[in-house]
């Protein structure tokens, strides 16, 4: 099953399959894994990196995604490529003489996922080629909120959220009673708008702005919780140990069930249940920027 991700920012690990360059690896960043591996194998003239050009075939075996924006992913890529120069990775021993480059890159990655700021991001570690999968060393397993997944992943373009909402509403109307009058439709729209306008934040009790991009809702299907992003983040952080910018998880203020912050964000972006993609825009505006401003 191919997993499709919205607003995809990923850092990947390539493994060389050419006997003349056996064991070589390459670490990179992409918003489109399928397109990127094709570029690497076609060569630098087609957008591939100089280090991989003419040395193929390459295989993309692992990718880490879920970064809040392009800048965050690029910083992760640089640290993974240059562990000796990264202050947060000074504790990681260098490559051993008998150690394969592939295993060293995995060891660096496993250490990166255990230190800040990366250890608190809602990342997913995905093995694209299961035959190359390796278990993480004892004591270096990813945090519990970072799932390890298997199989292909891709990024596709879709309409904007506004267009999706209009399309969904149009389909719903088409399937409804064809004899429905214009007055009935207007009445239903008014009721829906009134309900949204009167909805209050379940943390601060202030009114929520209709169709606000800063409103989060519970991922549990039977829960109607809605809250301002900053209010909910603040509540989660107040109940977590340490002084952090981003929460990892917390208790829903309405149903009291535990929810992962990353799942709340994925649902807000429209990709929690379907994993559908809106676009691969490289904009840096994101929920992390709003929290950082506080």
pLDDT (0 to 100) of residue 274? 35
Q: Determine if the pTM surpasses 0.85.
A: no
Query: What is the per-residue pLDDT for 280?
Result: 40
Instruction: Report pLDDT for 120.
Output: 86
pLDDT averaged per 10 residues, the chain (length 294): 70 94 94 91 86 90 90 94 93 92 96 90 90 90 89 66 49 50 52 60 89 85 91 88 79 91 78 40 40 46
CA–CA distance from 46 to each of 33, 54, 68 (Å)? 15, 12, 28
Domains of the chain, CATH where assigned: 3-154 (no CATH), 199-272 (3.30.40.10)
DSSP states of the chain as a string? --EE-SS--EEEEEEE--GGGTT-EEEEEES-HHHHHHHHHH-GGGT--TTTTTS--EEEEEEEE--SSHHHHHHHHHHHH-TTT-GGGTTS----TTS-HHHHHHHHHHHHTTSTTGGGS--EEEESSGGG--PPPTT-PPPTTS-EEES-EE------HHHHHHHHHHHHHHHS-TT--HHHHHHHHHHHHHHHHH-B-TTT-PBPPTT-TTEEE-SSTT---EEEHHHHHHHHHHTSSS--SS--EEE-TTT--EEEHHHHHHHHTT-SSS------------HHHHHHT-
**Per-residue model confidence (pLDDT) at position 48:** 86
């Amino acid at each position: 099953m191919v997993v499709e991700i919205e607003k995809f920012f990923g850092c990947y690990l390539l493994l060389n399959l050419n006997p003349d360059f056996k064991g070589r690896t390459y670490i990179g960043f992409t918003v489109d894994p399928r397109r990127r591996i094709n570029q690497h194998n076609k060569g630098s003239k087609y957008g591939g990196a100089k280090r991989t050009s003419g040395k193929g075939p390459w295989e993309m075996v692992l990718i880490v995604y879920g970064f809040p924006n392009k800048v965050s992913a690029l910083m992760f890529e640089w640290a993974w490529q240059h562990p000796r120069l990264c202050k947060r990775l000074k504790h990681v021993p260098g490559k051993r003489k008998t150690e394969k480059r592939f295993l060293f890159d995995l060891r660096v990655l496993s250490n990166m996922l255990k230190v800040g700021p990366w250890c608190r991001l809602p990342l997913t570690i995905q093995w694209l080629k299961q035959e190359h999968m390796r278990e993480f060393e004892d004591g270096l397993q990813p945090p519990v909120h970072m799932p390890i997944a298997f199989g292909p992943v891709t990024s596709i373009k879709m309409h904007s959220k506004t267009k999706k909402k209009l399309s969904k509403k149009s389909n719903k109307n088409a399937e409804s009673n064809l004899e429905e009058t214009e007055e009935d439709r207007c009445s239903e729209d008014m009721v829906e708008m009134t309900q949204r306008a009167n909805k209050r934040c379940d943390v601060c009790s202030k009114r929520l702005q209709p169709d606000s991009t800063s409103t989060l809702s519970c991922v549990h299907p039977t829960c109607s919780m809605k809250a301002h992003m900053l209010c909910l983040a603040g509540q989660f952080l107040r109940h977590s140990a340490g002084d952090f910018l981003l929460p990892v998880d917390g208790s829903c203020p309405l149903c009291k069930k535990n929810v992962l912050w990353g799942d709340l964000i994925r649902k807000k972006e429209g990709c929690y249940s379907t994993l559908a993609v809106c676009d691969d825009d490289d904009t840096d505006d994101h929920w992390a920027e709003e929290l950082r401003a506080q």
